[in-house]
């Protein structure tokens, strides 16, 4: 058993639901107990969809377990086909159905339905939501296209002279973080270098559309968490190159355009920026100088976390102090990125482990998921959301991509917003006893709440640190403790930790004001 306060991903059948709900003409039949229909709300409420997701449930109850749940399943399949007449039926089980083993996939395939039936293996006790989405999408693409795979050695047909190259955008789904607007932005980007979009899948596609995948010159793997298996298979089977750079951030967007151009076999004028972004200038303007070296902790799915780290380090001038992901399948990418920034990668789906890490690192900003907002609230650290899982406020009405140049604009505003603004930060440091603009108060541009302060202003910031004090027999002299409080709130935790480390390494028993400043000189800011 794993104690879970918050989980980063849902079960794998929710991933399958995301694929079905993304598409048209696909219906998912889930063998699941009464109550599992809660997942419909993710689509109708969090994403505010105007239609029910194309998912039917058997909703078995205790009294059905004594009878024939397999029969119940077959009745559901019949009724569902009659009512919705989908082009393709997916069959899945939720975690409880997996335990009662009715083999619904085989049952449905034996029913002689006039449309393709695709049974899904979704191991609910070992795999999770993104894996479920990835597997479902891959099985569907493969199932529909395997009869059309050309014989090995067949040359890809050359594009007709004068026609624009075409790309597929693969990976965007229902409940994906900002997929809706990323698609528009990437379509615009590609258009700016003369590339058309052949189709987007799974979001908005039908099974018939998927048959047109091979018509494109290459595939763009926009969300590897969902589409990397399908893209790999398409590359092997149809020789379609895969563009793997995910265009989040200015640098990544430029690289993406280069890579897409190479895949399409076209020349792109590298000296001219196809679409501009305000973000580089905003970041260079003197108002942003105070952002330099802000200590940031980053956590999310691998794609967004790796992209965020690059933006933070190269485009905003932050210091990345922690980087991690909950997606074990993509741990390699995060490990590599962590090496680049000289931090230890955190690969875990355990919320409590992430919380402990944030507490230990004392960042000034947390970039994470909805779950990191809970952590940030508890620890009183500013936070911005960069990745799923997210809640309703992160499916905004306005245009809010993360990708491309407009995405970079959105990111600049979003990440800087929770930080205390420059002037306030200076004044709070200079004058410490103001009744309104004090140390623990929420930055004044965020409104009147005092939520920022989960610890009282004059208590030492981290209870976990007091343990070190106790068992190391190391104590803070009262003057030193007073002096510590004069350090601004958002860096005080770090200063405390550094001082204690400094003292411990030198065998200092009592930390004085001197020790504090010695440590400061030793470590720098």
Partner 1 sequence: MSAPEIRCEQGQRQVFCGLSGIVWLHRKIQDAFFLVVGSRTCAHLLQSAAGVMIFAEPRFATAILQERDLAGLADCNQELDRVAAEVLERRPDIKTLFLVGSCPSEVIKLDLGKAAERLSEVYRDRVRVLDYSASGLETAFTQGEDACLQALLPELPTRAAGERSLLIVGTLPDVVEDQFKRLFDELGIGPVEFLPPRHATEYPSVGNGTLMLLAQPFVGETARALQKRGATLITAPYPFGIEGTRAWLKAATDAWGIPAERLEAVTAPAIARAEKGLARQRELLAGKRICFLPDSQLEIPMARFLQRECGMELVEVATPFLDRQLMEAELPLLPPDLHLTEGQDVDRQLDRVRAARPDLTVCGLGLANPLEAEGLRTKWSIELVFTPVHGFDQAADLAELFARPLVRGALLKV
Q: Which stretch binds partner 1 (CB under 8 A): 33-41, 157-165, 297-305, 499-507?
A: 33-41
> Residue 270: left if φ>0, alpha if ψ -120 to 50, beta else—which one?
alpha
How would you write 51-86 as a 3-class SS string? CCCCEEECCECHHHHCCCHHHHHHHHHHHHHHHHCC
Which of these segments, 42-50, 213-221, 323-331, 422-430, binds partner 1 (CB under 8 A)?
42-50
In whole angstroms, the minimum distance from the beta carbon of 63 to partner 1 comes to 9
Residue that is written with structure tokens 């976390």 in the block: 305
- Residue 100 or 513: the one with the smaller Cβ distance to partner 1 is 100
Residue 44 makes contact with partner 1 by CB under 8 A: yes
Does 422 count as an annotated binding residue? yes
Q: Say how far apart CA 135 and CA 19 lie, in whole Å.
A: 10
CB-based contacts of 288, cutoff 8 Å, min separation 6: 282, 316, 317, 416
Would you say 272 or 398 has its CB closer to partner 1? Answer: 398
Q: Among candidates 324, 410, 333, 336, which has minimal Cα distance to 368? A: 324
CA 37/CA 59 separation, integer angstroms? 8
CB 218 within 8 A of CB 151: no
Residue 38 CB, nearest distance to partner 1 (Å)? 5
Is the CB of residue 277 less than 8 Å from the CB of residue 411?
no
Instruction: Among 25, 70, 87, 96, indicate the residue that binds partner 1 (CB under 8 A).
Output: 96
Query: Interface residues for partner 1 in 332-351 (CB under 8 A)?
Result: none
Dihedral angle sign, alpha carbons of residues 177, 180, 185, 190: positive
CA distances (Å), 80 to each of 83, 94, 139, 174, 365, in order?
5, 18, 21, 22, 49
Instruction: Enumerate residues 385-424 that contact partner 1 by CB under 8 A.
Output: 391-392
Q: Which of 1, 151, 286, 521 binds partner 1 (CB under 8 A)?
A: 1
Active-site annotation holder among 287, 413, 434, 458: 287
Applying the rule CB under 8 A, the residues between 238 and 297 that interact with partner 1 are: none
105-144 mask for partner 1 (x: CB under 8 A)?
A: -------------------xxx-x----------------
Which of 96, 122, 134 lies closest to 18 in space, CA to CA?
134
Binding mask 358-387 for partner 1 (x = CB under 8 A): ------------x--xx--xx---------
Nearer Cβ to partner 1 (12/407): 12
Residue 103 is given by DSSP the state: -
Q: What is the nearest approach in angstroms of partner 1 to the Cβ of residue 39?
A: 8
On whether 132 is known to bind a ligand per the annotation, the reply is: no
Question: What Cα–Cα distance (Å) separates residue 280 from each residue in 172, 389, 412?
Answer: 27, 28, 9
Segment lying near partner 1 (by CB under 8 A), choices 48-56, 205-213, 339-347, 435-443: 48-56
Task: Give the nearest distance from C-beta 5 to partner 1 in angstroms.
Answer: 5
Binders of partner 1 among residues 430 to 459 (CB under 8 A) are 454
Smallest gap from Cβ 449 to partner 1, in A, equals 12
Does the annotation list 190 as a binding residue?
no
Strand 319-325 versus strand 295-300 pairing type: parallel
* Token pair in block for residue 274: 């196809």
Of 230, 177, 179, 222, the closest CA to residue 204 belongs to: 179
Q: Does 22 bind partner 1 (CB under 8 A)?
A: no
Nearest to 28 by CA among 36, 38, 40, 20: 20
Tokens of 276: 């501009």
Q: End-to-end CA distance of the chain, in Å?
A: 42
According to CB under 8 A, which one of 16, 74, 76, 122 is a site residue for partner 1?
Answer: 76
How many residues form the binding site for partner 1 (CB under 8 A)?
A: 58
Q: How far is the CB of 179 from partner 1 (least distance, A)?
A: 19
Q: Which of 25, 46, 192, 233 binds partner 1 (CB under 8 A)?
A: 46
Q: Where are the alpha helices (DSSP H) in 311-403?
A: 331-341, 351-361, 370-379
Of the candidate residues 24, 25, 40, 258, the single one contacting partner 1 (CB under 8 A):
40
Question: What's phi and psi for 305, nearest 5 deg?
Answer: -70, -45
Query: Which of 61, 154, 289, 510: binder of partner 1 (CB under 8 A)?
Result: 61
Residue of the chain from 41, 106, 208, 467 that contacts partner 1 (CB under 8 A): 41
Cβ at position 349, least distance to partner 1 in Å: 10
The distance of closest approach from Cβ of residue 399 to partner 1 in the complex, given in angstroms and rounded to an integer, is 18
Residue placing its CB nearer to partner 1 in the complex, 79 or 115 = 79
DSSP-derived secondary structure letter, 287? G
Least distance in angstroms from the C-beta of 131 to partner 1: 12
Our finding on whether 62 is near partner 1 (CB under 8 A) is yes
Q: How far is CA 187 from CA 47, 404, 427, in A?
A: 22, 10, 45
Concerning whether 287 is annotated as a catalytic residue, the answer is yes
Which residues in this chain contact partner 1 in the complex, by CB under 8 A? 1-7, 9-11, 13-14, 33-42, 44-46, 48-52, 56-62, 65, 76, 79, 83, 94-96, 99-100, 124-126, 128, 370, 373-374, 377-378, 391-392, 454
- Give the residue ranges of the annotated binding site for [4Fe-4S] cluster: 36
Q: Would you name the residues annotated as active-site residues?
A: 287
Q: Give the residue ranges of the annotated binding site for substrate.
A: 422-423
């Amino acid at each position: 058993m794993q104690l879970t306060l918050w989980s980063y991903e849902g079960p794998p059948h929710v991933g399958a639901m995301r694929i079905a709900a993304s598409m048209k003409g696909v219906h998912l039949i889930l063998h699941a107990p009464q109550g599992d229909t809660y997942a419909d709300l993710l689509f109708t409420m969090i994403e505010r969809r105007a239609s029910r997701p194309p998912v039917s449930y058997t909703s078995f109850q205790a009294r059905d377990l004594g009878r024939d749940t397999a029969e119940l399943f077959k009745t559901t399949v019949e009724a569902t086909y009659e009512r919705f007449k989908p082009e393709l039926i997916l069959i899945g089980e939720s975690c409880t159905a997996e335990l009662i083993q009715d083999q619904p996939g085989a049952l449905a395939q034996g029913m002689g339905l006039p449309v393709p039936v695709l049974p899904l293996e979704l191991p609910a006790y070992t795999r999770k939501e993104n894996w479920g989405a990835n597997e479902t999408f891959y099985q569907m693409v493969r199932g529909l296209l395997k009869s059309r795979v050309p014989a090995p050695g067949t040359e890809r047909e050359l594009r007709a002279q004068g026609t624009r190259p075409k790309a597929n955008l693969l990976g965007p789904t229902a409940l994906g973080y900002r997929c809706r607007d990323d698609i528009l932005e990437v379509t615009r980007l590609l258009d700016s270098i003369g590339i058309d979009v052949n189709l987007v899948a799974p979001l908005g596609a039908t099974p018939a559309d998927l048959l047109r995948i091979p018509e494109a010159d290459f595939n763009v793997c926009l969300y590897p968490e969902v589409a990397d298996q399908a893209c790999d298979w398409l590359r092997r089977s149809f020789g379609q190159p895969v563009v793997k750079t995910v265009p989040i951030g200015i640098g990544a967007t430029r690289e993406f355009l280069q890579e897409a151009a190479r895949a399409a076999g076209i020349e792109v004028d590298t000296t001219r920026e196809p679409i501009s972004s305000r973000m580089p200038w905003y970041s260079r303007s003197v108002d942003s100088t105070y952002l330099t070296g802000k200590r940031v902790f980053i956590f999310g799915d691998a794609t967004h976390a790796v992209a965020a780290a690059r933006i933070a380090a190269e485009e905003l001038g932050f210091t990345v102090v922690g980087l991690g992901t909950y997606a074990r399948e993509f741990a390699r990418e995060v490990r590599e990125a962590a090496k680049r920034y000289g931090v230890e990668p955190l690969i875990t789906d355990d919320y409590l482990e992430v919380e402990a890490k944030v507490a230990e690192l004392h960042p000034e900003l947390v970039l994470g998921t909805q779950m990191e907002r809970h952590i940030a609230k508890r620890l009183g650290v500013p936070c911005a959301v960069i990745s799923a899982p997210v809640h309703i406020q992160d499916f905004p009405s306005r245009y809010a991509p993360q990708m491309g140049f407009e995405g970079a604009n959105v990111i600049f505003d979003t990440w800087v917003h929770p930080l205390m603004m420059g002037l306030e930060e200076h004044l709070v440091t200079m004058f410490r006893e103001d009744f309104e603009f004090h140390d623990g108060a929420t930055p004044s541009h965020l409104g009147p709440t005092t939520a920022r302060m989960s610890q009282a202003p004059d208590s030492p910031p981290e209870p976990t640190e007091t343990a070190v004090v106790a068992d190391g027999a190391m104590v803070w002299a009262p003057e030193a403790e007073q002096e510590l409080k004069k350090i601004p709130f958002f860096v005080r935790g770090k200063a405390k930790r550094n001082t204690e480390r400094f003292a411990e390494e030198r065998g200092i028993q009592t930390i004085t004001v001197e020790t504090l400043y010695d440590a400061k000189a030793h470590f720098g800011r």
